[in-house]
Structure 1
């Protein structure tokens, strides 16, 4: 997945000459990457203000190692330096940016940086650094904040999508427990549909990998590749099912829609799960007429090796709460008034959980994937509970409406330098704008993070000895990746956090 770019160019222009702007004699620059606030995050009211840390390992391998090696260190020095000089000359003026430091870096042959980080899959309090970075050789002090642009751009999104995914899982687990639904269903109950709406295909792979930290349901094939490539994913990474789209249904024609359903159910997919988009024309006709006409064939479906034989109806437009749970403003006793779940129950029946909530016959189900948010998902779950249905009667399709309506400011991510050394003398750095609300106030000096009862806790203004202690561990140093984790470990950390949150609830 390596992007064929010159990594020297993965900066904002203003970074290019900071090397000369620092005081003469600068030797070390020490910075951190921290989520500062969830003020703009659209979380549920019981959100505990903790973020899931995910994405650093992929960034280190893909960018700091693969891209720097392929795009710089393994390139002809004169060619790659000339390309950098041309870019700077054309934009900032002839010889505006000297290139001797770039030549020296190429001669060195690796990135003289050290990154310390918390374990990926950790849930971290706001205003606590996820990682720190410092140069390891004094002549390359300029590198620390030179990589700020790409570090921020590559990390904020995976952390954000992983956090949102965790919140979906927490919500679904909460309602599974309330209604007695099968907890084993939760990992597939939120299905990632976001790829087509992301900011490019690499963003789709990387951001959708965040979804896979909490769920296995996904249509993002590249996210599975990403997890296998960079997170040693060996178990079940992601799963999906055969499914139609509107073009398939339209090609079969409206007059022959029932035939299309029958062909899909009986000829193409007589066993396992098949998901059929059902609102190309009249969703309520599909739910109340076609399902009756095909009831015998649906019930006669053959289980596959995993014991599954389900037809999943997929509404794809309208108000999801009303369509699933019923519209109180519709004509009394009409399908729209009852809602899709109640209509299917009347036709196919089902079972009840130990807590008395209804579960549709195992041969039928529903998935809704149009503009689902945490708030809409919660409203649907509340509606199902109120009607006496278990939460497991529906799968939620999570798309780009959730996973791409985001910015770096969703959790206030920032890279800030808090310590440096000039001519052998340490300097504690910090910012505290008088015109700001306090969100932008930075930590100060060397940093240490410890685990406490309330979660990870930051201690700033540390000594060099204290900075070596705590939960931030060296994962990258001098071009080498030192400490790897895998997807199973990340998922396990999140499962433990979820179990603790469930007990608390």
Structure 2
């Protein structure tokens, strides 16, 4: 085991568990790549895309966070270079001939610690079919062509917010479909899917990023970290909202015989507005029929007269069957009406939220089950945690960052990979543009084959300066559902896995 007695971490590498030295934002092998390009290389141009994957499109989101958090302004110091040099030497088995000290010193001295790269990207919130370029990166100083792909590691991490935003939007399409079929309006849609994923995330930062991506599409969340991220990096004072809600500990500490008192306490402690109460601590059916439907019925109705709403939350069992039975039991106790679409509605002061086992497929299964039994989708909202923020990875949308062009000895050279064992990994060639075609779809073409005015990739970052600073409000507008969207029910039926 090597130790690092000579390394100082007071200034850069690890503070409070977070890497703060930009030279350490790359995979280990990246520190050797400055020696591996052909002699005379002065420019490396790379692009990022979703090569396909689970969903047929992506909602582009999260690059601005990466640019602001890591790359904006003077981000390199002498101390960082020294620290990285010492760490890399030991990390590479005591070799001191690998670290690119000359290159990093050049950036510090010539550019004042600002990174000489240019990033062009599709505007955040754009909904783009897979297999299209989403952003490009190139060096702006011919002395440091290696820098383009040195930062591949941190750039590729946009896969996570992009994938969560896409996953969330697909669920929004499912909810939209069933509300249109079974309800008189789309008013419930912004709060139909609530983010329950904070505790299941791998870190506070991942929760913040994933939670922020969900808030591109919805306004309900319990992931507080996402609110802070969107306030700081996307100019949104308050991106999402929540309500008072119980958990099992706040019910079960009253004991099984005290469950009715625990439920009454929820209603009396929050006499106005919306409250949610977990109702399956012991017997969900008894809770719906006896506690809510009989013992506390008058109190629920009384709260309803002043605008109060109770949201009953089952948290176990088979979701379609449990949600339907809860609605049936609550409907029997409180009465139902029929909306203009011909579907049953609970009184406006009563709803159900299902927060266990929720994914885009489960939402569709539940709502189809309710529809078949005559219930409107407006009676139910959903909470999702693991399936929203965690059951995704870089291969969910097959995200990749590849070099497509270089300048070597003054000559432009198209660059690509074409593995014989996997044609799906064939990469694009040349400098790229993203354009709208005549039919309104997207197409990635060579830059020299497109009118520059039609290129949807816009400069967002150059030489340490942020050139575009998007707000969540405008991102949400771009990501809104529209008539050109895929048929989400056809997508579900054709993709059963």
User: Please, what TM-score do these two structures have when normalized by structure 2?
Assistant: 0.90
Q: CA deviation at 1:189?
A: 0.6
**Runs of 5+ consecutive residues of structure 1 not aligned to the other structure:** 44-48, 326-338
Q: Which moved more, 1:399-408 or 1:414-423?
A: 399-408
Q: CA deviation at 1:96?
A: 2.9
In structure 2, the CA distance between the partners of 1:220 and 1:33, relative to structure 1 (3 Å rule), is same
- Matching residue within 137, 156, 173 for 1:152: 156
Q: Which residue of 2 aligns with 1:278?
A: 279
**Contact kept in structure 2, 1:181 and 1:391, CA below 8 Å:** no
Q: Which residue of 2 aligns with 1:483?
A: 468
Matching of residues 94-133 of structure 1 within 5 Å = 94-97=95-98, 98-107=100-109, 108-109=111-112, 110-133=114-137
Q: Does 1:376 align with 2:376?
A: no
- Matching residue within 28, 36, 60 for 2:67: 60
Q: CA deviation at 1:402?
A: 3.1
**Runs of 5+ consecutive residues of structure 2 not aligned to the other structure:** 1-15, 490-497
Q: CA deviation at 1:504?
A: 10
Alpha-carbon distance in 2 for matches of 1:357, 1:2: 53
1:389-419 superposed Cα distances (whole Å, 9 cap, x missing partner): 1101111101123321111000100000000
**Contact kept in structure 2, 1:314 and 1:366, CA below 8 Å:** yes
Q: Does 1:31 align with 2:46?
A: yes
Matching of residues 369-448 of structure 1 within 5 Å = 369-436=355-422, 438-448=423-433
Q: Does 1:162 align with 2:165?
A: yes
1:235-258 superposed Cα distances (whole Å, 9 cap, x missing partner): x51011001111111111111110
Q: Which residue of 1 aligns with 2:24?
A: 9
Q: Which residue of 2 aligns with 1:192?
A: 195
User: Please, what TM-score do these two structures have when normalized by structure 1?
Assistant: 0.89
In structure 2, the CA distance between the partners of 1:146 and 1:239, relative to structure 1 (3 Å rule), is same
Q: Which moved more, 1:103-112 or 1:139-148?
A: 103-112
- Matching residue within 204, 225, 228 for 2:228: 225
Alpha-carbon distance in 2 for matches of 1:188, 1:243: 15
In structure 2, the CA distance between the partners of 1:468 and 1:31, relative to structure 1 (3 Å rule), is farther
1:227-276 superposed Cα distances (whole Å, 9 cap, x missing partner): 11111125x5101100111111111111111011111112x111101111
The residue matched to 1:427 in structure 2 has which SS?
strand
- Matching residue within 245, 264, 267 for 2:266: 264
The residue matched to 2:188 in structure 1 has which SS?
helix
In structure 2, the CA distance between the partners of 1:503 and 1:171, relative to structure 1 (3 Å rule), is closer
Alpha-carbon distance in 2 for matches of 1:91, 1:408: 26
**Contact kept in structure 1, 2:304 and 2:349, CA below 8 Å:** no
- Matching residue within 201, 205, 209 for 1:206: 209
Q: Which residue of 1 aligns with 2:485?
A: 501
1:171-194 superposed Cα distances (whole Å, 9 cap, x missing partner): 111111101243011110100001
Corresponding pairs, count:
468
- Matching residue within 346, 352, 360 for 1:360: 346
**Contact kept in structure 2, 1:182 and 1:392, CA below 8 Å:** no
Q: Does 1:180 align with 2:183?
A: yes
Q: CA deviation at 1:463?
A: 3.0
The residue matched to 2:401 in structure 1 has which SS?
strand
In structure 2, the CA distance between the partners of 1:313 and 1:64, relative to structure 1 (3 Å rule), is same
**Contact kept in structure 1, 2:174 and 2:488, CA below 8 Å:** no
Alpha-carbon distance in 1 for matches of 2:260, 2:246: 14
Alpha-carbon distance in 2 for matches of 1:448, 1:312: 49
Q: Which residue of 1 aligns with 2:11?
A: none
**Contact kept in structure 1, 2:170 and 2:488, CA below 8 Å:** no
**Contact kept in structure 1, 2:236 and 2:471, CA below 8 Å:** yes
**Contact kept in structure 2, 1:371 and 1:402, CA below 8 Å:** no
In structure 2, the CA distance between the partners of 1:382 and 1:255, relative to structure 1 (3 Å rule), is same
Q: CA deviation at 1:454?
A: 5.0
Q: Which residue of 1 aligns with 2:317?
A: 318
In structure 2, the CA distance between the partners of 1:502 and 1:388, relative to structure 1 (3 Å rule), is farther
Q: Which residue of 1 aligns with 2:7?
A: none
Question: What root-mean-square deviation, in Å, do the aligned CA atoms of Structure 1 and Structure 2 show?
Answer: 2.0
Q: CA deviation at 1:15?
A: 0.7
- Matching residue within 346, 355, 367 for 2:332: 346
Q: CA deviation at 1:498?
A: 2.9
The residue matched to 1:203 in structure 2 has which SS?
helix
**Contact kept in structure 2, 1:204 and 1:223, CA below 8 Å:** yes
